[in-house]
Amino acid sequence: MKTIFTTGQVAKICKVAPRTVSKWFDSGRLRGYRIPGSKDRRIPRENLIRFMKDYGIPVDELEDFPKVVLFLSPDPAFFASITSDQFVVRHATSAFNAGVEIDTYLPQCIVIDCAGFNDTIASLWHVINEKLSDFEIMGVGDPEKHLEGFGSFVRAPFDPNVLIADIERKCGKAVS
């Protein structure tokens, strides 16, 4: 999976001239870095995706970029059995770590161990809603206690295969 793009590659993806990408970069709208000792610019994938979403540019040209699913649980073993070739799996064990993961990877789906984060659900909502605009949020636990704000809920204990199928159905493979 390609993680860094040149201005020419970004121009092709966004269907604009390379000079337009350079202007976006130089104005600070498209974030990246310059190669030391060179004027060449490089744009990390997550910055490109954020820019494209912010400016309404379809991201379907990045088809090889799988969805990112962030699993939040204070217990690293809680979601350890979850793997899929349909999405990239990221984990966080605290609201702070969740903020870092959200900033870095812009997940399209977030799955929360509600029992594990029982006392910090409010801070998690704040972190998630502040950072993301287009995402699916799923809860795992007791729906009678934590249903508000979740797009869907899976009762714990859960079957990993059922959870994976639910994520794939709701989030799909390609970035939307």
At 37 the pLDDT is: 84
Task: Give the orientation angle of helix 7-14 with respect to helix 45-54, to 10 degrees.
Answer: 40
In whole angstroms, what is the distance from residue 17 CA to residue 128 CA? 34
What pLDDT score does 176 carry? 38
CATH 1.10.10 for domain 4-58: yes
Whether residue 71 contacts residue 87, with contact meaning beta carbons closer than 8 Å, is answered with no
User: For residue 65, what pLDDT is reported?
Assistant: 58
User: What pLDDT is stored for residue 175 in this prediction?
Assistant: 40
Give pLDDT, residue 119: 65
pLDDT in tens, 62-82: 765 567 899 999 998 898 888
How does pLDDT run across 29-47, given as a tens digit for each residue? Answer: 999 999 888 888 999 888 9
Q: Identify the CATH number of the domain defined by range 67-171.
A: 3.40.50.2300
- What is the domain partition of the chain in residue ranges? 4-58, 67-171
Cβ atoms of residues 101 and 90 within 8 Å: yes
Residues of the chain with pLDDT under 50: 173-176
